[in-house]
Amino acid sequence: MEKLAATSPAGVLLDLSGVLILLLAFACLGSKLFNRYVAYYGAQSVVLSFAAGVAAWTFHSVELWILAVLTLAIKGIGIPVATRRLLLRRLALARDSAISIGLSTSLIVGGALTAFAYLVTRPQLLPHGVVAAAVVPLSTAVILLGALEMVVRRHTVAQLIGWLIVENGVFLGAITLVATFPFIVEAGIFLDVAAGVLIMVVFVSGLTRQLAEASTTELRGLRG
Amino acid sequence: MTVLAILIVAGPLAGPAAALLRARARAAGVALAAGGLVSLAAAITLLAMLVHHPPLTGGDGFLYVDALSGFFLITVAGVTALAAFGSIAYLSAEEDAGALSSFQVRLYFAFFGLFASLMLASLETGNLGLLFVLIEASTLASAALVGLEGKARSLEAAWKYVIISSLGVTIALAGTLFLFYAGSALHLASNQRLTWPYLLAHAAVLAPQPVRLAFLLAVVGYGTKVGLAPMHTWLPDAHAEAPSPASAMLSAALLNTGMYAIIRFLAITQARLGAAFPRAVLLTFGFASVVIGVLFMVRRGNFKRLFAYSSVEHMGIIAVALGFGGVLGLYGALLHTLNHAIAKAVLFLDSGDVALRYRTREAAGVRGLLVAVPVTGGALLFGSLAVLGSPPFGLFLSELTIVRAGFARSSPILPLLLLGLLAVAFIAFARTTAGMVTGSAASPAAPASPDGSAAPASPATPGAPVDPYRGRGARWAAAVPLAAGLVALLVLGLWIPAGLNTAILHSLAVIR
């Protein structure tokens, strides 16, 4: 465990990855092109798989190497390619116009949420001995930013990306528990995410075929 | 015992198997119902054994069944059996009317079985992480059921359901992580550190702040699945748009699975932080849900939405009961879970029958059920009375227990408030269903809007019911689960079987 202290090279690399993942979540929040959403999400997943690789290298764990490769293959390559092919290109999506608050306002709110994440998960609140404690507030902030993205964007595809960012944030938190988090659980989470994206893609394309544009602003039939 | 646990989970998989063999609706439905009955029988046997034996454990803590899981297993397996029976008649009628293609029927049975099986499995695991994985997977399987009809409205409901629930459950996973951080003082590098019994036994060494955060995140996260306000927004849409037996599964099985997860977190939090904090949280969310549920029940319209808001209300009552705490409160919460599950399964199955006959889901389009279709009308009447907590049905007993638990606490304000809300709920709910049940059948009331679960097969006059079933067998298959559910509710209202009583008391020992 002490191999991942904040001063060790592995700990520094892990912290650096956490910061990069947070920055990419901000980048996604500050963009209004569907292509960019997917690109930033893909990059975020690649950094996440790098972080998993660092942890695997530190702990010499075969299971973690498998997880790192799975992250790269499914989240870094599979999901971005599938979203581009099945949603963006087929439905000819380019600019996201269904944004409820301005980009700069959402960035400011995002900054406030990041500060809040640090407030809630101050290292001194966490018990001693947590590996790479700096990653915990970072992952909390990424979760909040993803949720913010889901709230301020009304388009179904943007909400899908927001959920995936939340999921990446949780996974970043889980990596710091590498030594003890059971492999079956992590693999199951992967399976859920992949299946979730598949079923959401089916719904989004079905909805788009029926409505002119699958924007949740038009999803107003069910109320009360 | 392990064999029984496997049998419980494997039973509903008869549905997907039948779908793979390209069975038609009736055959697949019979297979699914048989599977559901096998599950139920196995669950009852298992719970009877658990009363005398220590909890069933295995697979490094991944398999863990104690009396509490056994109790919820019976509830979910019972609902599965009822809803599977209801599926025989409902799906055959939809297939015969051409409202659903044979591919959609096969999809239905495949995902129904998968959904039930995943929920039952999630009740059998002791590992918090695996619990998340299974509950999220069951969300995805049930989302396919909600969106089954493929129309814009059902796809919209399915999208709303899958995105809100997935986000909620992911938040619960974050809560699970914090619970895991809280235990980092425990030096144990094995899967045990993420299991209920281990965390509960070592609650004293958990760090308090992360436990607090974990409980809040778990209540918000799994509360999304339970339908606690204000996270309930997906619930009425999903319940209204899903095929009726699937709505029964959502309301009576899925919501309870979420509540089970919350109860597990509650046990650990109580052991570490004392009862005050978790009780305050549960009372807040519980009363918010009761108020929201009751307010939206006042609106008259789609009767499936009415039943859905009633579910929000009842889940709120269960959360309030957990918040009142004590032996009485917990006993009431568990008893109410079982009673509500049966009553709501009956109501949703009955709503499917009504929707098939009138081809509308609007209450205004249905009148004089008791005269036109006595079986359906009678089930709706007695089901409504039961779900509203009138004697002699089981919900009267459980609600009385919960209110008594409230008075056993110091302040009488909260139980009085609960009683007042229940009275409003009674008026609001009965106003709509009484209008559907009574009146003369012949009055040609026009349906309020062409909501239509499908276009009418024949140009029947609006407001006049058609018989959707072919043959006596289908008619019986539609009536049997309604009668079985009502009889069970009546029995539970008059007399709690000694075995059930022991089982609930054993479950309480796990929580307290």
Task: Tell me which chain B residues have a C-beta less than 8 angstroms from the C-beta of A217.
Answer: none
Burial class (CB in 10 A: 0-12, 13-18, 19+), B461: exposed
Q: Is the dihedral of CA A188, B172, B222, B69 positive or negative?
A: positive
Quick one: average pLDDT of B462-490? 83
Report the distance separating Cα B127 and Cα B118, nearest Å.
15
pLDDT for A124: 59
Residue with tokens 């995105």: B163
pLDDT in tens, B201-215: 888 888 888 899 899
pLDDT in tens, A150-189: 888 888 888 899 999 999 998 888 877 665 667 777 778 8
| Residues counted in chain A | 224
Question: Could you tell me what percentage of chain A is helix, strand and coil, using 3-state DSSP and rounding each to the nearest 5?
Answer: 75, 5, 25
Is B155 close to A203, i.e. CB distance below 8 A?
yes
Q: Output the DSSP codes for B394-431.
A: HHHHHHHHHHHHHHHSS-SHHHHHHHHHHHHHHHHHHH
Task: Tell me which chain B residues have a C-beta less than 8 angstroms from the C-beta of A163.
Answer: 163, 166-167, 170
CB B66 within 8 A of CB B50: yes
Residue B150 structure tokens: 């493929």
* Chain A / chain B CB contacts < 8 angstroms: 142
Amino acid found at A83:
T
Report the distance separating Cα B421 and Cα B415, nearest Å.
10
Q: Among B62, B140, B150, whose Cβ lies nearest the Cβ of A199?
A: B140
Mean pLDDT (chain B) is 87
pLDDT in tens, B354-412: 888 888 888 888 888 888 888 889 999 999 999 998 888 989 999 999 999 999 886 88
Mention every residue, 6+ apart, whose C-beta is less than 8 A from residue B487: none
Task: Tell me which chain B residues have a C-beta less than 8 angstroms from the C-beta of A156.
Answer: 159, 163
Number of other CB atoms surrounding residue B455 within 10 Å: 10
* CB proximity A222 to B under 8 Å: yes
| Residue scoring higher pLDDT (B362 or B316) | B316
Report the distance separating Cα B246 and Cα B234, nearest Å.
15
Mention every residue, 6+ apart, whose C-beta is less than 8 A from residue B187: none
Number of other CB atoms surrounding residue A42 within 10 Å: 19
Residue A102 in this model has a pLDDT that exceeds 90: no
Mention every residue, 6+ apart, whose C-beta is less than 8 A from residue B265: B175, B179, B214, B215, B218, B219, B222
Task: Tell me which chain B residues have a C-beta less than 8 angstroms from the C-beta of A127.
Answer: 181-182, 184-185, 207, 210
Quick one: average pLDDT of B435-439? 85
pLDDT for B289: 95
pLDDT for A123: 63
- In 3D space, the residue among B440, B131, B240 whose CA is nearest the CA of residue A224 turns out to be B240
* CB proximity A200 to B under 8 Å: yes
- Specify the DSSP class assigned to residue B192: G
Q: Residue B447: which pLDDT band, with cuts at 50, 70 and 90?
A: very low
CA distance A130 to chain B (A): 6
CA distance B400 to chain A (A): 30
Q: Is A182 left (phi over 0), alpha (psi -120 to 50) or beta?
A: beta
CB A137 within 8 A of CB A118: yes
CB A41 within 8 A of CB A28: yes
Is B137 close to A170, i.e. CB distance below 8 A?
no
Residue with tokens 């006059």: B461
Q: Residue B448: which pLDDT band, with cuts at 50, 70 and 90?
A: very low
Q: Among A129, A143, A196, whose Cβ lies nearest the Cβ of B174?
A: A143
- Name the packing angle between helices B102-124 and B128-146 (round to 10°): 160
pLDDT for A222: 61
Count helices and strands (H / E) in chain B. Answer: 21, 2
Q: Residue A26: which pLDDT band, with cuts at 50, 70 and 90?
A: very high
Residue A217 structure tokens: 């602003």
- Specify the DSSP class assigned to residue B150: -
* CB proximity A196 to B under 8 Å: yes
Residue A33 structure tokens: 């092109």
Residue with tokens 């808001």: B309
- Tell me what ipTM this predicted complex has: 0.87
Q: Among A126, A150, A188, whose Cβ lies nearest the Cβ of B133?
A: A188
CB B149 within 8 A of CB B241: yes
Q: Residue B452: which pLDDT band, with cuts at 50, 70 and 90?
A: very low
CB B259 within 8 A of CB B337: yes
Nearest chain A Cα to B301, which residue? A224
- Rg of the Cα trace of chain B? 22
Residue A6 structure tokens: 């904040």
User: Which residues sit opposite B398 in a β-bridge?
Assistant: none
pLDDT in tens, B119-167: 999 999 988 889 999 999 999 999 999 988 888 888 889 999 999 999 9
Nearest chain B Cα to A182, which residue? B191
Q: Output the DSSP codes for B47-96.
A: HHHHTTSPPEEEGGGTEEE-HHHHHHHHHHHHHHHHHHHHHHHHHHHHHH
Residue A61 structure tokens: 């764990």
Is B129 close to A170, i.e. CB distance below 8 A?
no
Task: Tell me which chain B residues have a C-beta less than 8 angstroms from the C-beta of A130.
Answer: 181, 184
Q: Is the dihedral of CA B303, B307, B313, B316 positive or negative?
A: negative
Longest dimension (CA), chain A: 56
Task: Tell me which chain A residues have a C-beta less than 8 angstroms from the C-beta of B299.
Answer: 224
pLDDT for A97: 77
Percentage of residues in chain B having pLDDT higher than 70:
94
Task: Tell me which chain A residues have a C-beta less than 8 angstroms from the C-beta of B144.
Answer: 199
CA distance B128 to chain A (A): 9
Quick one: average pLDDT of A192-208? 83
Q: Is B117 left (phi over 0), alpha (psi -120 to 50) or beta?
A: alpha
Q: Which of B170, B187, B305 to mutate to test the interface with A (most CBs of A within 10 A)?
A: B170
* CB proximity A191 to B under 8 Å: yes
Q: Which contacts of B297-300 are long-range, i.e. CB under 8 A and separated by 24 or more positions?
A: B297/B425, B297/B428, B297/B429, B297/B432, B298/B424, B298/B428, B299/A224, B300/B363, B300/B364, B300/B431, B300/B432, B300/B435
Residue B453 in this model has a pLDDT that exceeds 60: no
pLDDT for A87: 84
* CB proximity A119 to B under 8 Å: no
Residue B109 in this model has a pLDDT that exceeds 90: yes
Percentage of residues in chain B having pLDDT higher than 90:
51
Burial class (CB in 10 A: 0-12, 13-18, 19+), B223: buried
3-class secondary structure per residue, A171-198: HHHHHCCCCCCCHHHHHHHHHHHHHHHH
Q: How many alpha carbons lie under 13 Å from residue B45 in its C-beta half-sphere?
A: 14
Residue A186 structure tokens: 């992590």
Is A180 close to B189, i.e. CB distance below 8 A?
yes
Q: Among A170, A191, A206, whose Cβ lies nearest the Cβ of B174?
A: A170
pLDDT for B449: 41
Report the distance separating Cα B69 and Cα B507, nearest Å.
8
| Residues counted in chain B | 512
Quick one: average pLDDT of A91-96? 79
